[in-house]
Structure 1
């Protein structure tokens, strides 16, 4: 959510749609140009890997590019319990092999831009 700061230092948090609705046509054109340049720069930049540990239902954890060993440890901690539960319920019916594979914990590498890595996945915490 964008923050707008006035000349007196007061801060207002405003939703993107609300903010955009208050811009003039020239401001909208300028914002579009600036955003397009920023998107292009981010997409042309380096990519990083985020390791997602999926427990078969949701993402149970995500790890930085160099923390793949921690991701593997997380997977090992959750794998056996889920595997035993799913194997017990496995019926062998059509489509069940695919469902079984989807329900087993696994690690999925996600390639993201450096911008996404720094702002969405692992943002620096303000001090």
Structure 2
């Protein structure tokens, strides 16, 4: 949430929509141009990998780029139990192969920008 400071040093947090409503058209054009440049630079920068341990349609845990071994250990911990359950269900009532595969625990790599990696996926603990 943006923070606005006055010349006296007072500050106030406002939502983006509230902040944009205070801008002149020239300020909005400048902000739009500046944001476009920042977005382009972020999109063109090297990406980081997040290892996502998923079970069915749910993500159970996210691991940092260098923690792929922890992600693999997590997958191994949960795979056998889930596989045994899914296999028993499959034998009783076979269904599509893709559905069977999707329901098994797996690791999915996610490529994200550095800023997303640092702020959304693994924010610094305060």
Shorter-chain TM-score range: 0.7 to 0.9
Question: What's 2:29 paired with?
Answer: 29
Residues 5-60 of structure 1: CA deviation (Å, up to 9, x unaligned): 44455443322223222322111111101111111111121111110111213111
Structure 1 length as normaliser, TM-score?
0.85
Task: Name whichever of 21-30 and 45-54 sits farther off.
Answer: 21-30
How many matched pairs?
124
- Aligned equivalent of 1:92, options 87, 91, 94: 94
Q: How does 1:68-107 map to 2 (within 5 A)?
A: 68-90=68-90, 91-93=93-95, 96-107=96-107
Structure 2 length as normaliser, TM-score?
0.86
Question: What's 2:60 paired with?
Answer: 60
Residues 71-109 of structure 1: CA deviation (Å, up to 9, x unaligned): 11111111122222222222223xx21111111110001
CA distance in 1 between counterparts of 2:32 and 2:111 reads 26
Structure 2 unaligned spans of 5+: none
Question: What's 1:14 paired with?
Answer: 14
Structure 1 unaligned spans of 5+: none
Question: What's 2:39 paired with?
Answer: 39
CA distance in 2 between counterparts of 1:60 and 1:4 reads 38
How much is the aligned-residue C-alpha RMSD, in angstroms? 1.8
Task: Name whichever of 12-21 and 80-89 sits farther off.
Answer: 12-21
Question: What's 1:119 paired with?
Answer: 119
